[in-house]
Structure 1
């Protein structure tokens, strides 16, 4: 039977998302300065790294190793982006790889259109829950389960710290504006990166490499590379494919903070790609 999600939206579930977008108009009363733009850039960069290195490459694919404390810190940093719990995020992402651009893909623009893939599925109540079996290796960590259940704690904490240090103007630019920009750059990987760009590898989906998205998302825009070798920590295959997330993780590995970064694997025949995506390389 075909999997056709029915979009269900409850006002309470999308209220925070809507308030953040409405809150962007506050920039009219807090005109940008060098200091405020620095708040925006720093907040965006720190939390984009949390999304790419935390949600995606660690919890989604286990493409490198962390100690238990480092794992908790990475989960907290990822959730400061206000994109729900790390286990929720990872479980749905693993399902996306298993069913990429097929009927059961939770956010395929080729199946449900751009709006659904970009943001509709995120704020829909259809996917509030996830199958814990998809992230079973993390279920033995009570601190991760607690963070996942209370996914709002890190982002509220982050916003409060920004407000306490920088005041109202810094909160507007360093939290509200930065979070909205972070949302749409992250969501563009689900939508635009399956519609716009080039395909180096003949993967069984519509994933594409996009230079501009790669810049904005610290390497995630090399999306066709990623779907070809999903378990790889490095997503920029060629020397010129800038992958900021990988470079930062590589630097952290020199100090023993992270270990066992999985290299890019350019070895799979096309016939095996669907099976590799199904395994999600965990």
Structure 2
């Protein structure tokens, strides 16, 4: 789900730039959004850390020491450390979002929509029919694959390839129907995630708690401004009237789709085509932020907690090859091995074959060698 607009002074597209939520903005009506640029300059002495003994030590050090002093005194935080279940990833700064703070009207609106979609799902067993089920499946592909993974993430956030404007805008509109935020806000949040990945300025890192990285960060709409400053990294989208229009009218479009579904198939179409489908795509998207920074393996020296997770990759059309993505953020292909299923890449490759996708970016062998682990050590 999403949030940003103008190119930063230190742009994310430095030859390499990495699904997650839209960044809420003060004064706007955006409700939701889903999200690593390497910008680590801590001016510390170099040290070598053995991956064999503790493959997470470097990442935890980055998280604990990066941007020292940021966020001191933030409400709802605890200093106790604990490991996440079945993982060596350690929660350094437990952040409570639900209690002990003042909720803004935007926080309440975001939580209200998420809750409403989950409540709508409760009616699914009692209003099942096959047409409604297949509508949900079709919209899962249209909004999840074409809208979120292909458009919001790989095309708009990372500019991994170019499309004709009519097709770029069509796919972006599919993303709006996922109810994860408008493209400007979604892209902004995701770019911030890459820029500050797994540090105290990351909008959603599991070092502040698994559920914080999965979904509760969505309900603190001012935290991104507090961590990252006002959105200034989506100028490429801000200057296009189409994306400004989607931002100003964002909520109209998914709810218009809901009305259309109800008119076409009654309450079952609404339950399955909106409730079940939206919640399904929500949690798949959120697992990229949470599970793919906690469970899985690291194939590349990305100096963060990103993981390749096969089951998230299956559900999220290839987005689960997340360590690959953080290593080569600019790449249109995330499943770099032949056996790494990547449905989004297959669509991009098809579009390239028929001449609609151009300037498709892939990592070179030199870039792969640069990101490879060297003798099982990481230089910090």
Q: Is the 8 A contact 1:36 1:173 kept in 2?
A: yes
Distance 1:157 1:247 in 2: 30
Where has structure 1 moved over 6 Å in runs of 4 or more?
A: none
Partner of 2:179: 82
Partner of 1:42: 138
Distance 2:136 2:249 in 1: 25
Structure 2 runs not aligned, ≥5 long: 1-68, 76-96, 373-380
Distance 1:161 1:266 in 2: 49
Q: Is the 8 A contact 1:232 1:265 kept in 2?
A: no
Q: Is the 8 A contact 1:54 1:74 kept in 2?
A: yes
Deviation of 1:126 after TM superposition, in Å, equals 1.8
* Correspondent of 1:160 among 236, 242, 259: 259
Over aligned residue pairs, what C-alpha RMSD do you find? 2.1
Deviation of 1:261 after TM superposition, in Å, equals 1.6
**3-state SS in 2 of match to 1:66:** coil
2:307 counterpart of 1:208: yes
Aligned residue pairs, count? 270
Deviation of 1:233 after TM superposition, in Å, equals 0.4
* Correspondent of 2:159 among 51, 54, 62: 62
Partner of 1:218: 317
Q: Give matches, 1:1-282, under 5 Å.
A: 1-3=69-71, 6=75, 7=97, 9=103, 10-30=107-127, 32-49=128-145, 50-110=147-207, 112-127=208-223, 131-268=230-367, 269-270=370-371
Identify which range, 44-53 or 5-14, moves more after superposition.
5-14
Partner of 1:280: none
Distance 1:153 1:80 in 2: 10
Identify which range, 19-28 or 252-261, moves more after superposition.
252-261
**3-state SS in 2 of match to 1:259:** coil
TM-score by length of 2: 0.67
**3-state SS in 2 of match to 1:227:** helix
Distance 1:52 1:237 in 2: 16
Question: Is the radius of gyration larger for structure 1 or structure 2?
Answer: 2
Greater helix share, structure number = 1
Identify which range, 72-81 or 148-157, moves more after superposition.
148-157
Q: 1:156 to 1:256 in 2, by over 3 A?
A: farther
Distance 2:293 2:366 in 1: 23
Distance 1:209 1:238 in 2: 12
* Greater relative contact order structure (CA < 8 Å, 6+ sep): 2
Distance 1:125 1:116 in 2: 13
